């Protein structure tokens, strides 16, 4: 049996509401999943939990959904952020997809000295996150702020949130041993790693905890996934 479709929507969700189906979602339900009017699906919007709904109508391009009953209450995931340097296409999408699945609340692209890739497509990153959230049964989307220089992204940093900076070949403390309970963030560098002066500057910031992920040099996306998994495990969720 095919899994029930699960969609993120913007509209408020409450029993009986009829909500519009934008063109891309109408197309997906009708032509990709081959659903018909009356078919059941699940909806979430990041605020109102998860709801069962059915397809009320298909128009030429759009359509609408009828919201039935709540299936899960809104619950937020662990308070974990991932900061990452953009890397080349494909691997970048992997980071966003896996970080979403692993429950990151914010996925923050930052420019570092050695970034080869110096721009990202925000709509595409959001689409990756949305698809991953729909698939993995999250009840919210991660926030993805616009790409910013590392220095400005760390400008107004909340002091109570340690930033675990992943440094290879630095004899830094293993992340698994460094984790303290509470809000946290992980920073992973680009393919070329952090520049030495950048790593020094980072190490001097009061909220930074330099950490290692073992003796092997991981690709950036592997480091992000492994680091988030450790943080997630430590958070108990």
Q: Using CB under 6 A as the criterion, which residues of the chain lie in contact with ligand SAH when the complex forms?
A: 166-168, 188-189, 191-194, 212-214, 216-218, 220, 223
Cα distances (Å, whole numbers) of residue 135 to 32, 39, 109, 183, 226: 15, 18, 22, 25, 20
Closer to ligand SAH at the Cβ: 63 or 210?
210
- Least distance between ligand SAH and beta carbon 164 (Å): 10
- Least distance between ligand SAH and beta carbon 124 (Å): 22
Contact in structure between 194 and 84 (CB atoms under 8 Å): no
Closer to ligand SAH at the Cβ: 133 or 211?
211
- Least distance between ligand SAH and beta carbon 215 (Å): 7
Closer to ligand SAH at the Cβ: 55 or 213?
213
Please state the separation of Cα 110 from the chain's center in Å: 14
Nearest to 102 by CA among 125, 124, 80: 80
CB-nearest residue to ligand SAH: 189
- Least distance between ligand SAH and beta carbon 110 (Å): 12
- Least distance between ligand SAH and beta carbon 93 (Å): 17
- Least distance between ligand SAH and beta carbon 4 (Å): 37
Closer to ligand SAH at the Cβ: 81 or 194?
194
- Residue 178's contacts (CB-CB under 8 Å, 6 or more residues apart) are 164, 209, 211
Closer to ligand SAH at the Cβ: 73 or 216?
216
Closer to ligand SAH at the Cβ: 19 or 92?
92
């Amino acid at each position: 049996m095919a899994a029930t479709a699960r969609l993120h929507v913007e509209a408020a969700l409450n029993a009986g509401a009829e909500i519009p189906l934008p063109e891309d979602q109408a197309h997906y339900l009708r032509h990709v999943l081959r659903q018909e009017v009356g078919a059941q699906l699940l909806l979430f919007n990041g605020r109102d939990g998860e709801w069962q709904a059915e397809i009320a109508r298909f128009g030429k391009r759009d359509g609408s959904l009828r919201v039935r009953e709540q299936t899960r209450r809104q619950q937020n995931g662990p308070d974990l952020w991932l900061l990452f340097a953009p890397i080349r296409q494909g691997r970048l999408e992997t980071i966003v997809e896996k970080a979403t699945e692993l429950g990151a609340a914010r996925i923050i692209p930052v420019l570092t000295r050695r970034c080869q890739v110096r721009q990202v497509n925000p709509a595409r990153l959001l689409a990756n996150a949305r698809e991953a959230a729909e698939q993995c049964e999250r009840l919210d989307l991660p926030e993805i702020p616009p790409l910013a220089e590392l220095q400005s992204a760390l400008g107004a940093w909340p002091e109570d949130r340690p930033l675990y900076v992943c440094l290879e070949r630095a004899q830094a403390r293993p992340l698994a041993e460094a984790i303290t309970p509470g809000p946290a963030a992980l920073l992973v560098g680009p393919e070329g790693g952090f520049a030495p002066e950048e790593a020094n500057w980072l190490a001097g910031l009061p909220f930074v905890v330099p950490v290692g992920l073992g003796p092997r040099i991981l690709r950036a996306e592997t480091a992000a996934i492994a680091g988030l998994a450790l943080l997630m495990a430590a958070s108990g969720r």
